[in-house]
Structure 1
């Protein structure tokens, strides 16, 4: 009755009903609150969602209609989404089924010049076949309290001096699209999905795309299928039929995860015991024994890499302080407390007045000793070690008894996969093939070896880990800061390292990306791609993230609201009421409680204190001289994947790639070479963000206003 007297009286109960829907509240909760007037009924909530979906659909039509007069000012992003439907009782014709669909997002382009999406210069370059022709200081300021006064200077240096191509700070224009029940794994599934997005949802006519490009973004499987569509439809009569308008752009989150897996695959040496040091040993030391290094869940793996890298860098700082001051604290002094004694003014530490420039010089010294390929080569003992560069010498008698590496059980596949003793052989023998049932592709990994006299394999392996993890963490930090130029500097290295690590699929993708920017993309298109490679959902500094990670978040919400066994992904409920309203659903869930005065949940995971972990690793590194060169020390061999990858490409793989893609630009991956298996065990994805002092955090998604 109140609604008939005042039409806006129902607004607040509608918001309550929508909030209950985002929380997957039970129908009885709707019934109870509706009876007392605090909420509208469940059917009214659904009707409201369909009204909102119609408005979202109208906006998509307007965006599509603009293509008739100007270049497309948006990119398309899609990914598969799966949901298991459990049968209450399994009988013939009624059993558990896996529902597969495809979720999509439209993101508005920013900072794009006029005619940047013109397809004609790009297609001409393909026809011409042109392609044939200080992260360390941030760790110290994060963990040593007396050095935190320099944190702002470290952050400023990353954002100014070391900046390569920082994106303009903005809040991205994000619009979710209808879900479909299309399976994107087969090529015809991606063709159907593109047809649905461009023609059915955006209502773009084929002749409007005669001379335009639309960036279509996704993971490795998605972009590979788009290229295959272009190859199969290459004889079409019109640019639209040939899919000349579709520009596949591989995204970064799955690429970053693949590099993370490569680190664990190379450095995880299965045998454990006295005298065996490395990644596996340190994970056991930290009692993280439930971690599955083969499955490699993203966030547990990220924390392991970050904590071990931080501990190694802090121990390197300890050695530098001992070298500069001549003061060595007792072995019982913990790593962090010992460092604080060097820099603390109250305890009159000898380095209490250290300046930022001096700290920066320390980081350059650490980089040369531990974080570059020259450091790895020096650890092989093939050249004299200069104390001014490498630090003071240490003799084998100065550390506990060196125990030779015990030979574990031989892997039955190792005879065909690696030749122990040579990092080149360990990597060059790998060849990625399509996984068939009951078989696994062979890849480079740690190998057993007893070293020749003069080198330090344990130290060389540690340097190799530091170098690989540094590239991974640098990519994470650069993405959070929105510096896509720094990200691409890391990708320049990974185009070799993926090959050496046995990840040939991503190795091919890195070569294709390099050829795109070197030969295929005209300058205007290059800047358009770079300026829209990342997305910012809040408009806040340090909150940039990858497009495929954004889609993973939307997929999580879609599956969470998949609350009826009678629905599939193409149903009106999921495709319209849910799919078109994911952005608003997330915003209501995030912001509605503040109406009642509740403190806003910023979504940050409570940062676990890693002090004990760092100190435990510090005791081990100091006692066993892990960060010091000890001639004759044995250890398992980890191949230098960068040099191995360079050798693989120089040995013929690069020429093979160029010949194959010159003959057919869509043949980035060799036939039957793509692993089409889906990643298992994906977590509700949280972005890695950068705080005010440059430290990295895991922050819950927020799609609300900044």
Structure 2
């Protein structure tokens, strides 16, 4: 490697045409936002071209990328999808003068995903078939039962049981030899529609300085993106063109199509555009819903709340439960889920320490067979992480009636109220304090008119009293948390493995879970998405549209990402340069030099490391183990 670079530098110094390696080095420096002084110095000593030369090379590469995306979109044998997102950055003026002020630069960035000929069946994007199905207006007759019947409960039980098994095997060292078996179960028994691990072909489009919240500007941006993929009002391919975005972008596209529906030109009316609700933002809002539902009150002593477990292991409370930080939030939720699953395994094996129990079994060579563990995992899924189990905990936990659920779940000790603790008096949580407050309250006047409770209020009070006598609210809440978090992790695992069918099954359930939360807009989004794909799309079209929801950047198994997450990654790179350069999103430097080359510049950093033997370095910190947290949560 040293010899190659030395010869390349010598040739570059003597011959202006021998510049491939120096140019690659210059693009690598440009991609890492190296200071311009480095370019000036390196060009003087003959190791790479000057900054102006690299600038012009990137301009030419950007123009060729634009031609490539236009040719790919105009080819009737190939298909493509556009994913876009709003982007903004605060531009601060360092040298204030009249007419120069700090402002927010707003734009829209997009990426075109190209699918080669043969990726999908021919005529899968037939727009005439879509129109015929929409003309039937079958959505007018659907009801709640229609969406309930779409849920594949058998499949959810299968992948849920595998997840219970995976949790045990992951945290018990004596069972690590079974990890390959669990992976095989996901790929066979739990698989529905897995994408092949092939690198996706991406074309980053030029940004536009528009605001998606302004209808006219969004329309102009959509026409601009269509033009960049070779489509115009006078010359366009009459087929379905998917356009994906987050929840707000999806809503704006639906509104825009509704406003333009009477335009006679099928292109100008956006009749060929297919709005798609992207998955990462949906998963993010679902995880925020889990936090908002199960976090609990501050300083709560309820062990079923997520907040109680978080404080036990020293984690900080989220600043906003309605919009949590996704990756730290997912790590905490799934960690608490694993701890509670392990505790349920402990009860199933009838031991006080699940980790020591398996160490002892391993010593005596009596580890249970995988078939036994699979059967137990399915049973644990049914009794601890389903809606039916939730209602059993509410109504049958303390009743004398024997059911399969009551036989499987140990009965806990009865709640005796808050113990007297002088240190809790300042928080109002002491029994003594509560009794004193009750004694000082004035009794209601006898002549005052007492409002009679309504029939619904009476029924609600009777139900609460019944639950108090026969139910276990803490257990029910913990079951609800495990049920919701199992679905959240199943969706994340399915995305990473590229199984779009598994993700689709979880989204059908999220339609109902969102309905009981503050994220009510996603109920509308999922209603429209599910109705469109299930009633107004042929099966080949539905499968094809689902297969366009994931991207694989490196072509490796387990390396799939939602399209909107990749677009967020490109936006982060773009916004950093915009803020650093102080340019608008519609500036020629951002449009021609940066935005079109974003994907290539992100890849050249990886390729440069690989070329000099640094491919084994991941470029990120390894995830530390969570054994101490698991031990603390198991002992609480």
1:75-94 aligned at under 5 Å gives the runs 75-88=81-94, 93-94=99-100
Match of 1:570 in 2: 586
Measured against aligned partners, the alpha-carbon deviations of 1:112-138 in whole angstroms (never above 9, x if no partner) come to: 111111111112222221222321111
Query: What is the SS of the residue equivalent to 1:206?
Result: coil
**2:157 maps to what in 1?**
none
Residues 321 and 86 from structure 1, CA distance in 2 versus in 1: closer, same or farther, beyond 3 angstroms? same
Q: Deviations over 1:310-332 (max 9, x none)?
A: 1111111111121xxxxx45xxx
> For 1:319-468, what aligned pairs fall within 5 Å after superposition?
319-322=347-350, 328-329=351-352, 337-344=355-362, 347-348=363-364, 352-382=366-396, 384-386=401-403, 390-391=407-408, 393-396=410-413, 452-468=468-484
Distance 1:4 1:576, change over 3 A: same
| Structure holding more helix per residue | 2
Aligned residue runs from structure 1 range 474-623, under 5 A: 474-562=490-578, 564-620=580-636
Is 2:170 the counterpart of 1:152?
A: no
1:87, distance to aligned residue in structure 2 (A): 2.5
Asked whether the equivalents of residues 514 and 520 of structure 2 are also in contact (C-alpha less than 8 Å), the reply is: yes
CA distance in 2, matches of 1:521, 1:585: 38
Question: Counterpart of 2:18 in 1: which secondary structure?
Answer: helix
Name the CA shift for 1:366/1:302 in 2 (closer, same or farther; >3 Å): same
CA distance in structure 1 between the aligned counterparts of 2:581 and 2:243, rounded to whole angstroms = 32
Aligned residue-pair number: 568
Q: 1:99 aligned to 96, 99, 105, which one?
A: 105
For 2:156, the equivalent position in structure 1 comes to none
Cα separation, partners in 2 of 1:150 and 1:5, compared to 1, 3 Å: same
Q: SS at 2:395's partner residue?
A: coil
SS at match of 1:19: helix
C-alpha deviations, 1:10-38, integer Å up to 9, x for none? 22221221111111111122222222222
Q: Would the alpha carbon gap of residues 598 and 152 (structure 1) be closer, same or farther in structure 2, given more than 3 Å must change?
A: closer
Find the aligned partners of 1:270 and 1:373 in 2 and give their Cα distance.
Answer: 23
Deviations 1:207-232 (A, max 9, x none): 44463111111111112111112111
CA contact (8 A) 1:61 1:202 kept: yes
Distance in structure 2 (CA, Å) of the matches to 1:548 and 1:449: 47
Aligned to 1:128: 136
Partner of 1:666: none
8 Å Cα contact 2:496-2:561 kept in structure 1: yes
Among 60, 63, 66, the residue aligned to 1:51: 60
Residue 594 (structure 1) shift = 3.2
State the alpha-carbon separation in 1 of the partners of residues 68 and 265 from structure 2. 28
Q: Alpha carbons of 1:388 and 1:524: their partners in 2 closer, same or farther (altered >3 Å)?
A: closer
For residue 297 of structure 1, the aligned residue among 307, 318, 325 is 325
Candidates 57, 65, 71, aligned match of 2:74 = 65
**Structure whose alpha-carbon radius of gyration is higher:** 2
Distance 1:62 1:400, change over 3 A: same
What is the TM-score of this pair, normalised by structure 1?
Answer: 0.75
Output the CA distance in 2 between the equivalents of 1:123 and 1:583: 36
Q: What's 1:676 paired with? A: none
Structure 1 spans left out of the alignment, 5+ residues:
323-327, 410-418, 426-447, 621-706
Q: Are the counterparts in 1 of residues 304 and 478 from structure 2 also a CA contact under 8 Å?
A: no
Look up the SS of the partner of 2:178 in the other structure.
helix
Structure 2 counterpart of 1:19, from 25, 28, 32: 28
Q: Matched residues in 2 for 1:611 and 1:449: separation?
A: 41
Q: Is the partner of 1:142 in helix, strand or coil?
A: helix
The answer to whether the 8 A contact 2:534-2:542 is kept is: no
CA 1:225–1:457: 2 relative to 1, 3 Å: same
Q: Runs of 5+ in structure 2 lacking a partner?
A: 1-9, 142-161, 435-453
Deviations 1:167-190 (A, max 9, x none): 233211111111111111222222
Q: Aligned pair in 2 of structure 1 residues 469, 504: CA closer, same or farther (>3 Å)?
A: same
Residue in 2 aligned with 1:441?
none
TM superposition score normalised by structure 2: 0.83
CA–CA distance in 2 between the matches of 1:14 and 1:316? 60
- Alignment deviations for residues 291-316 of structure 1 (CA, whole Å, 9 cap, x no partner): 32424111111111111011111111
Does residue 1:36 correspond to 2:45, yes or no?
yes
Q: Are 1:180 and 2:186 matched, yes or no? A: no
RMSD between aligned residues: 2.9
Name the CA shift for 1:491/1:392 in 2 (closer, same or farther; >3 Å).
closer
Distance 1:375 1:237, change over 3 A: same
SS at match of 1:474: helix
Give the secondary structure class of the aligned counterpart of 1:174: strand
Question: Judging changes above 3 Å, is the alpha-carbon distance between structure 1 residues 402 and 460 closer, same or farther for their aligned structure 2 residues?
Answer: farther
